[in-house]
Amino acid sequence: MNLTLKVWRQKNSNTPGRLETYQARNLIPDMSFLEMLDVVNEDIIGRGEEPIAFDSDCREGICGMCSLVINGVPHGGHRGTASCQLHLRHFKNGDTITVEPWRAKAFPIIKDLVTNRSAFDRIIQAGGFVSVNTGGTPDGNALPVPKTAADLAMDAAACIGCGACVAVCKNASAMLFVAAKVSHINLLPQGKAEKDQRVLQMVRQMDSEGFGNCTVTGSCEAVCPKEISLSFIAKMNRDYGAATLKGK
């Protein structure tokens, strides 16, 4: 099969970018979307030009590195699917596909389709952890955790930190990402001691990074490759409200 691509090319963060058109030929439906870009890049290098820069690493939907807006939707709009897991069998021969980077003030473009998502790391650094040092921890079974709590915490912890939730949001809000980490830890007994501080500090950092506010449109949940539930935002708001009322 053959496809026409319109790809965002931008030399660096200071140079304006534009969409360029490329023909992708001799493709097969079993290829992944990124393998298709590999094929296009081989052609581009063959012509002596610079290939399209895009992030990817594990290519199995777990590292969170890949980050393409495909036809206007982060990761391409297939339920629970990261860009690297999207296969060409979902496209038709002759389709024209637009490929763009994440777009958000807090995720500046580095080059082409590559953005800087360090803001997420700084939010975790602000409180997305349990303050335990290595060693001296009690036996793993000393503190039973109800299965329902452990399962719910795991649902939240499945977040891969890709940033699709920010990229799709009309406000470029990071609420789903932050809520997933706050919920994961706050739902577990191990996270209780720092529960209030954690949510306050992480939200403060989120705001200072320039992410927008949440208006609960739910687009984040719809594009999340790990299908993180919007209800975690409600949980975070509850934790945040409680912490604020306590005057922390």
Partner 1 sequence: MSLDAKIPDGPLAEKWDKHKFDLKLVNPANKRKFDVIVVGSGLAGASAAASLAELGYQVKCFCFQDSPRRAHSIAAQGGINAAKNYQNDGDSVYRLFYDTIKGGDFRAREANVYRLAQVSVNIIDQCVAQGVPFAREYGGLLANRSFGGAQVSRTFYARGQTGQQLLLGAYQALCRQIGLGTVQMYPRTEMLDLVVIDGHAKGIVVRNLTTGEISSHAADAVVLATGGYGNAFFLSTNAKGCNVTATWRAYRKGAFFANPCYTQIHPTCIPVSGEHQSKLTLMSESLRNDGRVWVPKRKEDCGKPPASIPESDRDYYLERKYPSYGNLAPRDISSRAAKEACDAGRGVGPGGLGVYLDFADAIKRLSESVIRERYGNLFDMYEKITGENAYQVPMRIYPAVHYAMGGSWVDYNLMSNLPGLFILGEANFSDHGANRLGASALMQGLGDGYFVLPYTIGNYFVTSKQPKPSASHAQFKQVEADVRAFTNRLLSIKGKRTATSLHRELGKLLWEKCGMARNEAGLKEALKRIPALREEFWKNLNVTGESGDLNQSLEYAGRVADFMEFAELLCVDALHRRESCGGHFREEFQTAEGEAQRDDEHFSYVAAWEYQGADKPPVLHKEPLVYEAVHMSTRSYK
Q: Which residues within the stretch 189-248 sit at the binding site for partner 1 (CB under 8 A)?
A: 190-191
- For partner 1, the binding residue among 1, 73, 97, 150 (CB under 8 A) is 150
In the complex, minimum distance from the CB of residue 103 to partner 1, in angstroms, rounded to a whole number: 17
Q: Does 94 bind partner 1 (CB under 8 A)?
A: no
- For partner 1, the binding residue among 91, 111, 178, 229 (CB under 8 A) is 111
In the complex, minimum distance from the CB of residue 216 to partner 1, in angstroms, rounded to a whole number: 26
Listing DSSP states for 63-83 in one string gives S-----EETTEETTS-TT--G
Q: Does 15 bind partner 1 (CB under 8 A)?
A: no
The token pair at 95 is 């389709």
Instruction: Choose between 1 and 217: whose C-beta lies nearer to partner 1.
Output: 1
- For partner 1, the binding residue among 34, 69, 99, 206 (CB under 8 A) is 34
Interface segment toward partner 1; rule CB under 8 A; list 121-129, 171-179, 206-214, 239-247: 121-129
Residues 50-79 that bind partner 1 (CB under 8 A): 50-51, 53, 55-65
Q: Are 5 and 40 in contact (CB under 8 A)?
A: yes
In the complex, minimum distance from the CB of residue 240 to partner 1, in angstroms, rounded to a whole number: 19
Q: Does 83 bind partner 1 (CB under 8 A)?
A: no
Long-range contacts of residues 55-62, Cβ cutoff 8 Å, at least 24 apart:
55/113, 55/114, 55/115, 56/83, 56/84, 58/84, 59/32, 59/34, 59/84, 60/84, 60/85, 61/85, 61/160, 61/225, 62/160
DSSP assignment letter at 225: T
Interface segment toward partner 1; rule CB under 8 A; list 98-106, 136-144, 168-176, 206-214: 136-144
Sign of CA dihedral 166, 163, 177, 121: negative
Q: Are 129 and 37 in contact (CB under 8 A)?
A: no
